[in-house]
Amino acid sequence: KNQVEQSPQSLIILEGKNCTLQCNYTVSPFSNLRWYKQDTGRGPVSLTIMTFSENTKSNGRYTATLDADTKQSSLHITASQLSDSASYICVVSADNDMRFGAGTRLTVKP
Amino acid sequence: KAGVTQTPRYLIKTRGQQVTLSCSPISGHRSVSWYQQTPGQGLQFLFEYFSETQRNKGNFPGRFSGRQFSNSRSEMNVSTLELGDSALYLCASCGSHTDEKLFFGSGTQLSVL
């Protein structure tokens, strides 16, 4: 069964700290993996897209890694800001299938 | 450049009714996809349209349907509404291939009473 599991479910950190969110998947055959940020009441915004041959991709303070062998991805946020408070969703695509993780709810406190 | 526009923003319906949601993609984008988001199930893919043709379809009943017009605008219809259809319905567009970056609208929040 094609699944995407994210951890932790929720996370609270202090402003300025770093954090890492995890995404494990069993989707096959793998096409690409995306990380999205979704603010409350808004649609998701793309952070990174990685294909099979890419193992790291950065977007400002966001760095995503991919290990296609172990089927794991992580999203690392550096020097967190209050505006990083949001849900972060991992999405894995197969040929004609797209599976979403349940998301990690990140809260950054001052 | 305007983003993806979804209307209406909020909608309240009763069981058994039908509803039509609208999505205007970013100018020049030809692919429009629809998603359902609920607290319990998270985001789920409904279907994708490209050049007025349904290209991919998720695992939803036939009550959920859509179409795309020649200007790439898309509509989604849900017939015989059920309480469980209450959700945020999101639309996303991209240039031509779904491996490209998706741009989401803010969604339509549907409540079925």
At residue B10, the 3 state secondary structure works out as strand
CA A89/CA A86 separation, integer angstroms: 10
Q: Which tens digit of pLDDT belongs to each residue from B12-62?
A: 999 999 999 999 999 999 999 999 999 888 899 999 999 999 988 988 999
B99 vs A49: CB contact, 8 Å cut-off?
A: yes
Task: Please give the pLDDT value at position B65.
Answer: 97
Quick count: other Cβ atoms within 10 Å of Cβ A65?
Answer: 18
Question: Scanning every residue of chain B, which has its alpha carbon at the shortest distance from the alpha carbon of A96?
Answer: B56
Over range A65-84, report the average pLDDT: 96
Task: Please give the pLDDT value at position A1.
Answer: 57
Bridge partner residues of B35 (DSSP) = B45, B90
Task: Please give the pLDDT value at position A2.
Answer: 61
Residue pair A29/A95 in contact by the 8 Å Cβ criterion: yes
Residues of A with CB under 8 A from a CB of B: 31-32, 34, 41-46, 49, 51, 89, 91, 93, 96-98, 100-103
Q: Which tens digit of pLDDT belongs to each residue from B56-104?
A: 898 899 999 999 999 999 999 999 999 999 999 999 998 876 567 889 9
